[in-house]
Chains A and B, each alone.
Chain A
Amino acid sequence: MSTIVELLSNLLLLLGSFFVVTGIVGLFRFPDFFTRMHAVSITDTLGAICILAGLMLHSDSEWLVVMKLFFVLLFSLLTGPAASHALAKSALHCNQKPLLGDDINANTNSGD
C-alpha cells in the first residue's frame, strides 16, 4: 500500500514540475503579453496543486503536515488567480491591447 502511495506522490511531483516547465516554455514562445500570462497562470496553478498534492501524499499521513500543506494550497489558489487578474487589469489600464487574430492576418497578408 505504501509503495502505491509513494509511486503516486512521485508521479504527482513529476507531473507538477512538467506543468511548470511547460508554463515557462509558453512564457517564451507566446507572442503577446496576455497569452503569455494566460499560459503561466494556468500552468502555475495546476503545477502548484500537483506538487502540493504530491507532497501531502509524501508526508506519511502526519495530519499536522497535511493540514499545513492544505492551507498553503488554499492560500496559493486564492492569491494566484488574483495576482494574474491584477496583472491583466493593470496591463489593460496601461492600454496594452491584446494581439487579435485580425492583426496577425493583416500582418501576414501585408508581408506577402
Chain B
Amino acid sequence: MVLTVFIINRSTDLLASIMLTGIFSLLSAGFFVLMDAVDVAFTEAAVGAGISTILMLATMSLIGQHYERRPTRHLPLFAVAIVLVTGSLLVYGTMDMPVFGKADTPVQQHVAPRYLNQSMDEIGVPNVVTSVLASYRGFDTFGETVVIFTAGLGVLALLGYRRNKQQESNHAMPAMSSHKILRVIGSLLIPPIMLFALYVQFHGDFGPGGGFQAGVIFAAAIILHSMLFGLSKTRQIFKDRSIYLAAGAGVLLYGGVGVVSMFKGGNFLDYNVLLSDAVSGQHIGILLVELGVGLTVATVMLIVFFNFSARVDHQQEEKS
C-alpha cells in the first residue's frame, strides 16, 4: 500500500493515479476484511474502488490527462524540517499508547463491553455494527447523513444546473447506440444490482450492510444506466426534482424519527418509545433511519455524478 501511495504521488499521468487510488481502496478493503471489519470493508470497496474512481475519471475528462509539474522556485527545506519534527513527535506520542487490540485497554473497558453484551437484549439485532451505528450512536450517524446531504448541496451550489432545455433536446447522444452488447448486458444486470442494493439495505441487521452501502450500490446501478444509455435519457427517467426531494426526504426521515420519539415522551432518537414493545421499537427505529440514510446517500451520489457529467457534456459541446 505504501508503494501504491508513493507511485500515486510521483506519477504525472492522472489516469494511472486514478486507477492506483482505486487499487489502494481495494487493498484497504482487503485489509479491513483481514481485521474482521466487514461492514467497513464493504463500504470502502463500494465507495473507494467504485464511485470515487468514476467521479475522478469524470473530472479527469474535464481537465486533461497529464499533470505538469511546475518547477519549484526553492527547495522547501524548512517545510520538510517542520514536517519531520512534527511527524516524529507524533510517532513518539503513539509509543505510549497500548498495544492495538489488547483487551484491557481503556477504550475496551467503558462502553464497548456494554454494547457487546447488551446489544442482543436491548435491541435484538444480530449485527452489532448496525446496532451501534443506528441506535447506540444514532446521533453520529445523523451527523454523517447531514454531512453527506451538505456535500450534495455544495456540489449543486458550485456546479449548478444549466436549465437549457433546447440544448438537451438537440444534444444528440448516439454515444452507446452502436454498443449493443454492452446495452444488452447492462439492461440484464441493472435490475439485479438494484435488487441487491435493496437486499443490502434491509439485511443490514443480519449481515454486513446497511444504509450507506445500499445507497452507493443503488447509485452505481443508475450511473451504469447513464453510461450505457446516455446521460439525458437517465436524467429523463430520474428527474432532478425527484432526486432533490428524495435527498431531503432521507434526512427528514432520520430527523423525523428522532422528533417523533420526542413527541412520544422519550429523548431525541430514543427508539424504545416508538412502539409499545421496546425491542420492536428499536427494530422499527433502525429500519427507518437506515432507510433515510440509504435514500440520502443514493440521491447525493446521483446529484454529484449528474452534475459532474453535465459539465463534461457541456465542455464537449463547447468544443464541437
Chain A residues packing against B (C-beta within 8 Å): 75, 78-79, 82, 85-86, 89
Between A and B, 17 residue pairs with Cβ closer than 8 Å are: A75-B189, A75-B192, A78-B185, A78-B188, A78-B189, A79-B185, A79-B189, A82-B181, A82-B182, A82-B185, A82-B186, A85-B181, A85-B182, A86-B179, A86-B182, A89-B179, A89-B182
- A interface: dominant SS: helix
* CA–CA, A78 and B189, complex, Å: 8
Chain A, Cβ-Cβ closest to B178 = A89
Q: Which residues of A contact B192 (CB under 8 A)?
A: 75
A-B pairs, 8 with minimum CB distance: A82-B185, A86-B182, A85-B181, A78-B185, A82-B182, A78-B189, A89-B179, A85-B182
**Shortest distance in angstroms between A63's beta carbon and chain B's nearest beta carbon?**
17
- Classify chain B's interface size: under 10
Task: Scan B153-189; emit 1 where CB is below 8 A from any A CB, else 0.
Answer: 0000000000000000000000000010110011011
Chain B residues packing against A (C-beta within 8 Å): 179, 181-182, 185-186, 188-189, 192
* CA–CA, A82 and B179, complex, Å: 11
* CA–CA, A86 and B185, complex, Å: 11
Q: Which residues of B contact A78 (CB under 8 A)?
A: 185, 188-189
**Shortest distance in angstroms between B126's beta carbon and chain A's nearest beta carbon?**
16
* CA–CA, A75 and B185, complex, Å: 11
Chain A, Cβ-Cβ closest to B185 = A82
**Shortest distance in angstroms between B189's beta carbon and chain A's nearest beta carbon?**
6
* CA–CA, A95 and B209, complex, Å: 42
